[in-house]
Amino acid sequence: KQTLLPLLREETSSFIFPCKLAVQRPELQYMVMELLRCIPLLLFLLFVCGLDHFIFSILSIIQHHSFIEYSYQTSHHLSVNVMGTSLMAQLLRTTIGALNTSFDTEVETSNLACLPQPTGMTRQQYLNTCLPLGVLALLCLAQVYPFRLRRAIAAFYFPKREKTRVLFLYNKLLRQRKNFLHLQRGRVARRARQPPELGTLLLQWCRRRWPWLRRCLRRRCTLCGTPETPRHRPCPNPDCFALYCESCW
């Protein structure tokens, strides 16, 4: 509970608050890892769609530029004329006259049956192909919210275990805060031993020279970096320009 142990700004970013709609830092790292796993599927899908379009373009070029049409025409006329009125002439006309033939041949053919007949995919088909991957990406973004229920479900079925976890977390935060304060005091002490930079001195001179610039040239907390507010407390040492927020102080 916040009334038992108020969290500092640095500690808040390492916890997950179930009631917040925004994706928090611990969830963001896991969500990014899940999205990275979708990249190979996306690359494979792009490769397959590109290969399909490439093959369709090649077959379409073959279909339009390899069409050949053949046209063959021929005519044959045979006529035997037997002159005369004798019996032999009449006999020859009846026998050889049967050989008289006349025909015309016209043949048109093409290789259309041998050419490929490609059919390209429509936009709707491409959309239906990419839709499952889009749904998978949306599930990677939305899975953080169902995952927040895991602790509540475990606490409902194992209340004693939940109490042990809370006590362990409380003691862990106390140890971390003690080490954090020790490290921050050492960092502030090392920074105090260093001479102030020219920009810091110029900023302090401008703030003293023109007090109305303090609203624009706001300083930040030495530890957490929050912008200056009326609750910030300066260091009581007049030679120190350090500023601390209420929680860090």
- DSSP for 71-119, please give it: EEEEEEEE-------SHHHHHHHHHHGGG-EEEEEEEEEESGGGS----
Whether the model clears a pTM of 0.75, i.e. scores above it, the answer is: no
What is the predicted pLDDT for the residue at 70?
A: 83
> Does residue 32 surpass a pLDDT of 80?
yes
Mean pLDDT, residues 18-27 taken together: 86
pLDDT in tens, 107-157: 888 888 888 888 888 889 999 999 999 999 999 988 989 999 998 899 999
Query: Which residue has better confidence, 226 or 54?
Result: 54
What is the predicted pLDDT for the residue at 137?
A: 92
What is the predicted pLDDT for the residue at 207?
A: 65
What is the predicted pLDDT for the residue at 42?
A: 93
Say how far apart CA 246 and CA 90 lie, in whole Å.
Answer: 138
pLDDT in tens, 188-217: 777 777 766 666 666 666 666 666 656 666
Band of pLDDT at residue 24, cut at 50, 70 and 90: confident
For the ranges 98-102, 107-111, 167-171, 217-221, which has the lowest average pLDDT? 217-221
Mean pLDDT, residues 26-51 taken together: 91
Band of pLDDT at residue 178, cut at 50, 70 and 90: confident
Band of pLDDT at residue 50, cut at 50, 70 and 90: very high
Q: CA distances (Å), 188 to each of 203, 240, 243, in order? A: 20, 11, 11
Q: CA distances (Å), 65 to each of 54, 58, 115, in order? A: 17, 11, 10
- The most confident of 3-12, 97-106, 112-121, 231-240, by mean pLDDT: 112-121
What is the chain's mean pLDDT, rounded? 82
